[in-house]
Amino acid sequence: MGLKSIIMGKNRKHSRALYEKVRSKPLPAHVAIIMDGNGRWANLRNLPRTAGHHRGVETLRGIIRTSSELGIRYLTLYAFSTENWKRPKSEVRYLMSLIVEFLQKEIEELNENGVKIHMLGQLEELPADAGKEIRKAMETTRRNKGLQVNIAINYGSRMEITLAARSIAEDVSHGRLSAKDIDEEKFSHYLETDGIPDPDLLIRTGGEYRLSNFLLFQSAYTELIFTRKDLYWPDFTRDQYLKALIEYQKRVRKFGGIKRN
């Protein structure tokens, strides 16, 4: 047996051991990911930024597959923010084409595996082909009961909260809702994540330490994991994901209370 085969065999055993370790303890019901660093990954390799985005899609396939295998119920992915429209038009067009390509190529396998596609964000502002493909994916998978993948596209949490407040104000002004009945739970029903539990774990790759307008209301008590500076999304492997889940399992979640024996 050659050295390469030995190393690959050891890597597979290590990966399997990580997988079994994760399975041995309670898993988060909802994982959110800020998929950051595609452009920097490409720049380090003297490649166009589009190459980083393309490689990032390969990473995405593996993370969805692993989440489904583990039985995680919700996976929310920050794919394109309301601020990302500021990027060069050529890059925005490529990102939108990648979304279309990903859904066209993967929807059959996702559907067969019981994955449900859901979208967060302002769908009507997307290019027609992207909007059409997303609606088709949502319709195709709407009855599925497995992992729900929430793709946040043209999404910004401040806008989400603003629109929720506007809807509440309209309901109060029309007598459909009493102001005294508004509490955190009632407010959450007006958010795009209505019916989806708050994230238990939020992972951000690329070494940045901020939420970047992502799930601000929902992440009040979410466990946060930021990867090291040089670990960009294209290099976020299955093993890196499993290690993040293990780190989450070590956390003691008190929700403002105290740990009880």
- Residues involved in catalysis: 36, 84
- Residue 108 and residue 39: Cα distance in Å, rounded? 29
Are 138 and 120 in contact by the 8 Å Cβ rule? The answer is no
Q: Count the neighbouring beta carbons within 10 Å of the beta carbon of residue 43.
A: 15
Structure tokens at 238: 């299955």
Residues contacting residue 129 through CB under 8 Å, at least 6 positions apart: 96, 100
Are 241 and 200 in contact by the 8 Å Cβ rule? The answer is no
Q: How far apart are the first and last CA of the chain?
A: 51
The edge-to-edge listing of strands for the beta sheet with 148-155 is 116-120, 148-155, 74-81, 30-34, 201-204, 223-226
Please spell the DSSP secondary structure of 12-70, one letter per residue.
Answer: HHHHHHHHHHHHTSPPPSEEEEE---HHHHHHHTT--HHHHHHHHHHHHHHHHHHHHHH
Q: Where are the alpha helices (DSSP H) in the chain?
A: 3-23, 38-44, 49-70, 89-112, 128-141, 157-173, 184-188, 238-250
- Residue 255 and residue 46: Cα distance in Å, rounded? 45
